[in-house]
Amino acid sequence: MSFMPKPRSGLGRRHFLAGAGAVGGLAIGVAAAVPGASAARAAGPRPDLMTAALGTPVRDLPHLPATRPAGAGAARVARAAAALRTLRPFLDPLPIPRVLCPSGTLTLPLERARVRLHRALPATRLWTYGGSHLGPTIEVRRGRRLRVAWENHLEGDFPVTAVRVPFAYDPEQPLMWDRPGREGGAPRKEVAALPPWAVVHLHGAVTGGGNDGWAENAVSPGHVQPAEYPNDQPAGHFWYHDHAMYITHLNVMTGLGAGTYLIRDEEEDALDLPAGEHEIPLVFYDRNLDPDESGELTGDLLYKGIVVADDPYELVRPFTGPFTLVNGVIWPHLDVEARWYRFRVLNAANNRPYRLRVVDEEGEPIPAGAFLPPSPRPNAPTCWWTSAHCAGAGRAWSTRCPNRAPGPT
């Protein structure tokens, strides 16, 4: 069975489906959840849902308690599964973060914001870099030093509810981590009481130790983290994210998960790749959402930790969630021209790997070789993919013409 929803009638050749599937057998184009009508029609045992996000069939995991929830628990699980299907994919446009090209210095505030993750959701409380779910893109030239003042203006309650619940298995429903809801777990008081402290790390950058955003360098509200980046390394795709000791996995959920940082140089310039509005970051991560008592999604973020063992010590499965976001929006779409684009892809999920594939408007894979290089320039890239695996913190770039006609148009 495929969970790939057929494109709506409004989606045609000029719409490129910017989505992804989790590794592990689910069709591409949408997250490892069950959005869309095709999933809603499914009934009976769901062997296609039996694959864990890490790619391990559940039946191969040890000591699985195959317990069906009873009574109120069963109703709660059914409501969660129904809530999962209420968000239609590909309705919202892909947000493109603003681009900052600072000369020497830059100030970026860490601040609260309320942002819609999907048009059918209420606004979500977030902590952000500069007010948007995905931080602004920072562009610099190789060898030009940049000093960034990361100012902590955060305040208020931790914007993510965290619960920890034991694993239970219902073959009729999506796996626990692939459905919204707390599963009856009480909010973790120690997470709710976290003060808004953070520290920013620039992933992949060659920096001095004092500027690297080490995990112990906590920056509390009202304070500034000064960082100096030499940018003395080849052109590349980097990203900044929270790095706070012990709580990075929680802080990134608040909205401090990612922003793009690009170093450019003359070697890259010579490639003459698509640029400006035709060079687009695609930053993936998965999240979970909290429903209310009636099963309606509230827009609030949920960190559901699944306890898979408690003896001799508690073992909590790394987070994965049912909703895949691209650039901070759940299952967006991107309207494109029939021309070449450069996509800068980053998997910024805590744990979930993705398998990315290019599909046509019928959801069918586009065969290898369908894309021709944008020009016969000697330096033109010789590698562009129609499918790729992207694990945690993995980055990739691709030039792509979303038109099956041979040759550039």
Nearest approach in angstroms of CB 286 to Cu ion is: 17
Which residue, 259 or 321, is less far from Cu ion as judged by CB? 259
Q: Going residue by residue from 309 to 348, which x/- string records binding to Cu ion, judged by CB under 5 A?
A: ----------------------------------------
Nearest approach in angstroms of CB 239 to Cu ion is: 7
Stretch that binds Cu ion, among 54-62, 198-206, 268-276, 335-343 (CB under 5 A): 198-206
Question: What Rg, from alpha-carbon coordinates, does the chain have?
Answer: 21
Least Cα distance to 252 among 325, 306, 185 occurs for 325
Which residue, 85 or 203, is less far from Cu ion as judged by CB? 203
Stretch that binds Cu ion, among 65-73, 149-157, 195-203, 209-217 (CB under 5 A): 195-203
Q: Which of 203, 237, 249, 339 binds Cu ion (CB under 5 A)?
A: 203
Q: Using DSSP, state whether 251 is helix, strand or coil.
A: helix
Which residue, 243 or 342, is less far from Cu ion as judged by CB? 243
Which residue, 203 or 237, is less far from Cu ion as judged by CB? 203
Nearest approach in angstroms of CB 189 to Cu ion is: 29
Q: Which two tokens stand for residue 272?
A: 């003459």
Stretch that binds Cu ion, among 34-42, 173-181, 197-205, 297-305 (CB under 5 A): 197-205
Nearest approach in angstroms of CB 208 to Cu ion is: 17
Which residue, 77 or 247, is less far from Cu ion as judged by CB? 247
Q: How many residues contact Cu ion, by CB under 5 A?
A: 1
* Residue showing tokens 């603003």: 98
Nearest approach in angstroms of CB 241 to Cu ion is: 6
Nearest approach in angstroms of CB 393 to Cu ion is: 6
Contacts of 327 (CB under 8 A, 6+ apart): 94, 95, 96, 97, 133, 134, 281, 282, 283
Which residue, 117 or 202, is less far from Cu ion as judged by CB? 202
Cα-based distances in Å from 293 to 19, 83, 181: 30, 11, 10
Least Cα distance to 279 among 324, 345, 203 occurs for 345
Please give the residue whose beta carbon sits closest to Cu ion in the complex: 203
Which residue, 124 or 254, is less far from Cu ion as judged by CB? 254
Nearest approach in angstroms of CB 352 to Cu ion is: 16
Which residue, 18 or 205, is less far from Cu ion as judged by CB? 205
Least Cα distance to 128 among 228, 259, 239, 250 occurs for 259
Q: Which two tokens stand for residue 96?
A: 């493109």
Which residue, 252 or 356, is less far from Cu ion as judged by CB? 252
Q: How far apart are CA 180 and CA 76, in angstroms?
A: 10
Which residue, 319 or 384, is less far from Cu ion as judged by CB? 319
Q: How far apart are CA 343 and CA 332, in angstroms?
A: 15
Q: How far apart are CA 88 and CA 332, in angstroms?
A: 10
Nearest approach in angstroms of CB 206 to Cu ion is: 14
> How many Cβ atoms are within 10 Å of 88's Cβ, its own excluded?
17
Contacts of 330 (CB under 8 A, 6+ apart): 87, 89, 92, 117, 118, 121, 287, 323, 324
Q: How far apart are CA 74 and CA 409, in angstroms?
A: 54
Q: How far apart are CA 167 and CA 305, in angstroms?
A: 9
The dihedral formed by the CA atoms of 283, 147, 153 and 190, expressed in degrees to the nearest 10: 60
Interaction of residue 142 with Cu ion, rule CB under 5 A: no
Nearest approach in angstroms of CB 254 to Cu ion is: 16
Stretch that binds Cu ion, among 89-97, 196-204, 258-266, 336-344 (CB under 5 A): 196-204
Interface with Cu ion (CB under 5 A): 203
